[in-house]
């Protein structure tokens, strides 16, 4: 198995879609710019990608009118040894404005990738606490030949499929999928660059997917899962912020992070 904890190997970039509003989190700044333990969520997410020695470039897809602010944030939070703008230590970064949907934002990030990148991770800014071992596990699986790799966890709840109902009306259940075969998928999702580009270019208007792996599935290419991590959860609703702060407090107590 290829070792992603070494900088050697195919060049890997991470695209971080961070252009969402965060409607489900409630009123306030765009979600990626809201603070977690005093630091913007996006900065936690960029650090999580830069923590992998295999990741040489991070492309941040900023809120459409927020690219200058994001560039300033990245410069303000540069790691010791990084240049004032453009890199954190050995990790370079680029900032591009995003689009109206996650899928559009990811595509804008992909369009900004330079030549020479062979592996692309796509990672939600809204999953700021993913551990580096999870990131490296995804990269290793792509290096070992899988064109699309997704970190995932077994589903804890029983899941029902429903028939859409009028607002306020009870929803009729049509099926209960076998839980043992269901997985909740996380990010970073990792791809062979050419496969991911082909998947995005093949999208039919109005027939997108909620994750990039869903687009690769439509190509008929194989998608495989590797173990996700409970700390890679997505900050979506207000209670998730409470959980994220608690995870950071536990990390500080355990190892002074």
Ligand X SMILES: C[C@](O)(CO)[C@H](O)COP(=O)(O)O
Ligand Y SMILES: Nc1ccn([C@@H]2O[C@H](COP(=O)(O)OP(=O)(O)OP(=O)(O)O)[C@@H](O)[C@H]2O)c(=O)n1
Report angle CA 59, 35, 213 to the nearest 5 degrees: 40
Number of residues near ligand Y (by CB under 6 A): 22
Tokens 């004032």 -> residue: 84
Q: For residue 29, give every residue at least 6 positions away whose Cβ sits within 8 Å of its Cβ, in sequence order, or none.
A: none
CA distance 155 to 164: 22
Rule CB under 6 A: choose which of 4, 15, 20, 82 binds ligand Y.
20
Rule CB under 6 A: choose which of 58, 92, 124, 199 binds ligand X.
124
Rule CB under 6 A: which of 67-96 touch ligand X? none
Give yes or no for residue 9 binding ligand Y (CB under 6 A): no
CA distance 145 to 149: 10
CA distance 135 to 239: 25
Smaller CB separation from ligand X, 185 or 247: 185
Give yes or no for residue 31 binding ligand Y (CB under 6 A): yes
Smaller CB separation from ligand Y, 53 or 189: 189
Rule CB under 6 A: choose which of 91, 134, 187, 195 binds ligand X.
187
- Helices (DSSP H) in 125-221: which residue ranges? 132-143, 193-201, 212-219
What is the smallest separation between the CB atom of 256 and ligand Y, expressed in angstroms?
28
Buried b (16+ CB within 10 A) or exposed e, 113-124: beeebebbbbbb
Window 221-250: contact mask with ligand Y (x via CB under 6 A): -------------x-x--------------
Interface contacts to ligand Y, rule CB under 6 A:
17-24, 31-32, 61, 98-102, 105, 124-126, 234, 236
Interface contacts to ligand X, rule CB under 6 A:
102, 124, 185-187, 210-211, 234
């Amino acid at each position: 198995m290829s070792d992603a904890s070494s900088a050697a190997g195919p060049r890997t970039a991470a695209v971080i879609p961070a252009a969402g509003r965060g409607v489900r989190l409630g009123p306030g700044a765009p979600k990626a710019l809201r603070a977690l333990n005093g630091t913007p969520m996006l900065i936690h997410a960029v650090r999580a990608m830069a923590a992998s020695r295999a990741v040489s470039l991070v492309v941040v897809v900023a809120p459409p009118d927020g690219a200058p602010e994001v560039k300033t944030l990245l410069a303000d939070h540069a790691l010791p040894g990084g240049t004032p703008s453009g890199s954190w230590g050995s990790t370079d970064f680029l900032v591009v404005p995003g689009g109206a949907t996650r899928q559009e934002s990811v595509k804008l990030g992909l369009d900004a990738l330079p030549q020479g990148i062979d592996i692309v991770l796509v990672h939600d800014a809204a999953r700021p606490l993913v551990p580096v071992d999870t990131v490296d596990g995804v990269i290793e699986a792509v290096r070992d030949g899988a064109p699309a790799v997704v970190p995932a966890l077994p589903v804890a709840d029983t899941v029902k499929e429903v028939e859409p109902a009028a607002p306020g009306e009870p929803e009729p259940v049509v099926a209960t999928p076998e839980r043992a075969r269901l997985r909740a998928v996380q990010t970073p999702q990792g791809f062979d660059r050419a496969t991911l580009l082909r998947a995005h270019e093949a999208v039919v208007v109005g027939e997108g997917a909620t994750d990039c792996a869903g687009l690769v599935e439509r190509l008929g290419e194989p998608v495989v899962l590797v173990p996700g991590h409970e700390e890679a959860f997505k900050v979506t609703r207000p209670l998730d912020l409470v959980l994220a702060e608690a995870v950071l407090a536990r990390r500080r107590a355990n190892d002074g992070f």
